[in-house]
Each structure stands twice: as structure tokens, then as C-alpha cells.
Amino acid sequence: MKVLGIETSCDETAASVVEDGRRVLSDVVATQIELHRKWGGVVPELASRNHVMQVLPVVDEALARAGVKPAELDGIAVTSGPGLVGALLVGVQVAKALAEAWQKPLAGVNHLEGHLLAAFLSETPPTFPFLGLVVSGGHTSLYAAEGFGRYRLLGATRDDAAGEAFDKGAKLLGLPYPGGVAIDRLARQGDELAVRFPRAIVKGADLDFSFSGLKTALLHHVRKHGVPEGKALADLCASYQEAIVGALTHKLFRAARRLQFSRVVLAGGVAANSRLRAAVVERAAEYEELSVFLPAPKLCTDNAAMIAVAGTEALRRGERRGPDLAADASWRL
Ligand code: KG4
Ligand code: ZN
């Protein structure tokens, strides 16, 4: 079963062909990072306009690299939410048009489900049930994944997402967008014990997260001491990153322990963070029988292969969407 995935929810125009929901035949991502960098973040109107220009060439490229003709496809899957509405619409309209023209079944995929299922493209995919942590630019959510299409939200951020904490923190430090990548790189030369940050934890609210206080603490630090350079900047990045990673692992392992999960899956752009990956593997080693599943970094950040995986499973369950498929910018999983 060969499914074409299309993703345009934010600032990457992506298309991919995946076979049987497990083998990536092609994975094309046209990133708009350079376009948005000078604005310090994603500008929705620029994102939509750029998706319009990129989406058909990207789909053609994905089919060509996979060596698959449209007639050989068994279905089309597209991200229909959540995300920037104007950006989502581009993918949704194109997917509906192609499904109609090529007479293929169509599935509308939740972007967060896509992230959660990226781990199924690894050599050793997880099995259900598992505890999934989605950490991206817009979301920080813990899910109990009970089966394809069956997810229970256990906790989420009360304010900023983990990726936002990275991006906004980086902006304060004068580092380029997307900030997570810049902080990850600089932090490798830094000492995470150099600066003390408050632990980004919500008291009482069990499995929820909060990162806005941490961002404010960084702002106060910078106001008082200025933006450091060289080794001191690396130390500050390492300390700030450690506070985010500490909060994420704290809640992740609390949930794993309490709900007795034996599998933990990381997903979303922040799951590409080298320190978070190492910290989760380290912590998991303290538990008997707790396996960690980390998608390859390029499958953590936005891509269409993960959308094709979720779409394949939806089509297998009999989902068929038609011209009524709409973009839902705030679709909750
Ligand atoms: O999943 P994603 O590509 O897009 C959304 O769905 O939001 O996630 C993007 C986020 C950005 O905030 C970016 O700074 C962050 O993921 N990110 C990272 C790293 N790579 C991407 N954060 C920390 N360390 C990284 N290596
Ligand atoms: Zn994403």
C-alpha cells in the first residue's frame, strides 16, 4: 500500500511516499527557514504564499524520487490541522484536487498524530500501548497511545510550548531562528550548572507543563547581566536548555512510572534536541523494562512521511474524506 503524504501546516512544504506505513520511499522537505529568519519567526502570510509556490513541485519530486506514478498510489494523506490556517489550506486544497483528479481515497491527518507515529518509520518501531511526548514549536503534550487513532491526553503545557521556550529564549540571546537548533549547538560547549534557573514545573497540576516563567527568568538574567559572549553564552544556553529538558523528563518519567508504561516515544521538533535525547535514554536506564523510541532527528521535525504513516492507518480503518475536508487550525488530538 503506497500513500502520498502532504504537509503544509507551518513553515515546511513537504511530500513523501510511504509504503505500508513503514518504509519511506521518498521524503522531500522544502524548508522556508531562510525566508522567515529575518523576521525572527514564522510570518503566516509569507508561509502560505510560499507553500502555494512550492507544493506541486515538492509533490512531483516526492513521486519521482520514490519512482511511483500517480496511478500506483493507494491513497493520499494530508495534514488538515492543527497549524496556521492559511498554510494548512494550501495542502488541503491540493490534496483534495489530486484525490479527485487521480481518483484516490483521501485521509485528513492530525499533525500531532503524525508526530506521534513518526517512530513507526524506525528500524525497531514501538508497539502499543505507549507513552508519547510530543514536543514541538506549538505543542507540549503527553499522550497515552492505545492504538492507531486511539490517544488519551494526559497533560499539556499551560502556556508556552517547549519549542517556543527554545525559540523565544534564543531570540533574547540574539541567536538565529529556529532557536532550538542554535541553543542545542552552543550548549554542547557549555556547563549546564553555570546558571541556576527555576525548575519549569506546575505545582499540583500533575502532568502539565509550564515554560513561561523560565523565559521570564532568562529575560531578567539578560537585563541584569547583558547577553554574554563566548564560553559564558554557551554556559547560559546549556543551563537554559537543561531547565527545559529537566521539566520534560520529570513529567515524562512521572507519567511512565505512575501509569506503568513500558514504552516511551518522543516526537516533534524538540525531540531532535541532543541533550533531551541523551537525558531520556539515561533516565530510562534506571528503570527495569522501559524502552525508549527516538525517531531519527529528521523525522522529529516537520515532514510528510509521518503524515503518510498516520494516513495509511486511517485509510486502513476505512476513512474516506471528500471535498468536504476542511482545514481545522485548532484541531485537538
Ligand atoms: O515539529 P516542528 O518541526 O514544528 C512544529 O510542529 O512546531 O518543531 C519545531 C520546533 C521549533 O521550536 C524548533 O526550535 C524546535 O522544534 N527544534 C529544536 C531542535 N530542532 C528543532 N529544539 C531544540 N533542539 C533542537 N535540536
Ligand atoms: Zn510539527
pLDDT in tens, 56-102: 999 999 999 999 999 999 999 999 999 999 999 999 999 999 999 99
Tell whether the torsion through CA atoms of 178, 180, 182 and 183 is positive or negative.
positive
Ligand 1 midpoint to CA 74 (Å): 31
- 198-201 long-range Cβ contacts below 8 angstroms, 24+ apart: 198/243, 199/243, 199/246, 199/247, 199/250, 200/165, 200/243, 200/244, 200/246, 200/247, 201/247, 201/250, 201/251
Mean pLDDT of 210-216: 94
Kindly list the structural domains of the chain, giving each domain's residue range(s) and its CATH number in brackets, ordered by start.
2-117+300-316 (3.30.420.40), 127-294 (3.30.420.40)
Ligand 2 midpoint to CA 268 (Å): 6
Task: Please report where in the chains the cell 537548533 appears, as a residue.
Answer: 181
Probe residue for ligand 1, chosen from 249, 273, 301, 333 as the CB with the greatest number of ligand atoms within 8 Å: 301
Average pLDDT, the chain: 96
Calpha distance 132→311 (Å, rounded)? 18
pLDDT at 34 (0 to 100) = 86
Q: Which three cell numbers stand for residue 126?
A: 514501538
Looking only at the bridges linking them, the beta strands covering 140-147 and 130-135 are: antiparallel
Mean pLDDT of 126-136: 98
Probe residue for ligand 1, chosen from 9, 32, 164, 181 as the CB with the greatest number of ligand atoms within 8 Å: 181
Mean pLDDT of 119-142: 97
Calpha distance 151→329 (Å, rounded)? 19
* CA angle (94, 95, 97) in 5-degree steps: 65
Identify the residues whose C-beta falls under 6 Å from ligand 1. Answer: 10, 136-138, 163, 166-167, 178-181, 184, 268-270, 272-273, 301-302
Proportion of the chain above pLDDT 90, given as a percent: 91
Proportion of the chain above pLDDT 70, given as a percent: 98
> Which one, of 261, 289, 266, lies nearest residue 277 by Cα?
266
User: The whole model's pTM is what?
Assistant: 0.96
| Nearest CA, atom 7, ligand 1 | 137
pLDDT over threshold 70, residue 225 = yes
Tell whether the torsion through CA atoms of 48, 116, 113 and 135 is positive or negative.
negative
| Nearest CA, atom 25, ligand 1 | 273
pLDDT at 23 (0 to 100) = 98
Q: Which three cell numbers stand for residue 264?
A: 516511551
pLDDT over threshold 80, residue 205 = no
